[in-house]
Amino acid sequence: MSVIVLILPDFLLIALGWLLLHALGYGREFFNGAEKLVYFVLFPALLFQSITRTPLDLGSTTVLLACTMGVMGGGIALAWLSRWVMRPDPAAHASVAQCAFRFNTYLALSLAGGLNLPGAQATMAVIVGFAVPISNIGAVHALATRHGGQALSQIVRNPFILATIAALACNFLQIPIPHVLDVALGRLGVCALAIGLLCVGATLSIEGGRAHGPLMAWMVLAKLVLLPLWACLLTWILPLAPNERLVLLLFSALPTASSAHVLAARMGGNGRLVAATMSIGTLMSALTLPIWLKVWS
């Protein structure tokens, strides 16, 4: 399959989400409700079904999780390296650091499903489920001076994490999933990707970052270029299966999560700066993702 054909449908949905909000009169309340539905119901259902439907081997999964931890650690290190290299405003850096390592889960599962590789979406689901708590802890670290307890509570109760733990338990313990439940979860999962990508488009905004151009550029470069290079090195060192290697490399090249600006705003950070950085990274990833996929394939 052509790389452009793989990437284009998802970015068309992102563009449609932007048009629905800015040109077709759908209000912010509509998308706020849609985001809650995806976050608490649809996407956990997709994660659970993707993991439970593909048998996993504990040995190979351990290596995959080690590589995932290595990728996330590299992203966090790149984010904090800019603090010593660029000497940015501390408040701005604390807000935008997450843009170097957080990832768009909706795009992750959608692109993995389009790879036409056996078990690719299940592999991505495992990676995403394991990386969510790491990314959340890294994101709140700099912003948690006043809300550390609340942030920890949110991490423990994160529906992505709960769905992943439950699915891994069912998979490794070989607990059968009733057919009716599996079908219902599958239908919820189909809805998750489309609605999630529409919500990503509704969050796009390039306003609010003019005073921090170099810092924004660093974070976008780290997420879309430097982190995938680091992931390549990791996959050469650690013994991953070819399909797992491709999925992990795709994961490393994803743009920042669209919810990053919400976290910054809720914890007293510069939400507009994060929204601008996330938006620019998402738009730029339409160019970088095809390049990386072409190189790796």
> Which domains does the chain carry?
3-296 (1.20.1530.20)
Distance CA 37, CA 135 (A): 21
pLDDT on residue 274: 84
- Where would I find the beta strands (DSSP E) of 154-245? none
Measured CA distances, 176 to 117, 162, 272, 273 (Å): 24, 18, 46, 46
- Which phi and psi (to 5°) does residue 208 adopt? 100, 5
Cβ neighbours for 156, distance < 8 A, ≥ 6 positions apart:
none
Length of the chain: 297
DSSP string, 209-258: -GGGHHHHHHHHHIIIIIHHHHHHHHHHHTT--HHHHHHHHHHHTPPPPT
Question: Collapsing DSSP states into helix, strand and coil, what is residue 280?
Answer: helix
Rounded to whole angstroms, the Cα distance separating 116 from 112 reads 8
Q: Do 107 and 197 form a contact (C-beta atoms < 8 A)?
A: yes
Instruction: Identify the three-state secondary structure at position 182.
Output: helix
Give tens-digit pLDDT for 117-133. 888 888 998 898 888 87
Q: What is the pLDDT of residues 168-215, one digit of tens each?
A: 888 888 888 899 999 999 899 888 888 888 887 887 776 666 678 899
User: Do 247 and 124 contact (CB within 8 A), yes or no?
Assistant: yes
Q: Report CA 9 to chain centroid distance, whole Å.
A: 18
What pLDDT does residue 72 have? 95
Tokens of 199: 């919500």
Q: Is 138 strand, coil or helix?
A: helix
Cβ-based neighbours of 295, under 8 Å, separated by 6 or more: none
* pLDDT confidence of residue 266: 64
Supply the pLDDT for residue 225. Answer: 96
The residue ranges of the chain whose pLDDT is under 50 are: 1, 145-149
The pLDDT, as a whole number, for residue 149 is: 46
What was the pLDDT predicted at 222?
96
- Separation of first and last alpha carbons in the chain: 11
pTM given for the model: 0.80
